[in-house]
Amino acid sequence: MVITASSKRWGKATAIKYAMEGANVVISNSNRKNLEKAARDIQKESGEKVDSVICDLSQKEDIINLMNYTVSTFGTVDVLVSNTGGPPPWGFDDVDDEKWQYAFEIVLLSMVRCIREVLPYMKKQKNGRIVNIASSSFKQPIDKLILSN
């Protein structure tokens, strides 16, 4: 299974739970130091080894490399947890076209790209699960989070 943006919060907690259940877990993050710490923490808490791959979710090639690593290591992808840390906090007046484009890449297009990469394996095996985590503000908008609310 693959969990993106999994060095902190929801992603890391999800990785711990799946590892405790004995799943083959591949975590990812764009920051090597955070990723390595998360892998150690997850292994310590779960008692299981996890694999980790550097992946900037705004970069299509990084997503392809993450999925290729997972398939070459484990043969398939049974579960994808498409998670993202989200764009920085800004108000509407602070956001120019470049920031809107970045938010689109990191929040929405990263999910599309991840799904596009794992779907052929899930179709072939006639099984798989995809969980998309986009924002913690799904119930109530959070001030200054215009790009992920």
Residue 42 CA to residue 106 CA, distance in Å, equals 24
Residue extents of the structural domains in the chain: 2-133
- Give the pLDDT confidence of 41-93 residue by residue, as tens digits: 999 999 999 999 999 998 999 999 999 999 999 999 999 999 887 777 788 88
Q: Which own/partner contact pairs does 120-124 have at CB distance under 8 Å and 24+ positions apart?
A: 121/71, 121/76, 121/77, 122/77, 122/78, 124/76
Which pTM value belongs to this model? 0.86
Fold of 2-133: Rossmann fold (3.40.50)
Q: Inform me whether the pLDDT recorded for 36 exceeds 90.
A: yes
Report pLDDT for 54.
96
Q: Inform me whether the pLDDT recorded for 137 exceeds 70.
A: no
- Give the pLDDT confidence of 88-129 residue by residue, as tens digits: 778 888 889 998 888 888 888 999 999 999 999 999 999 999
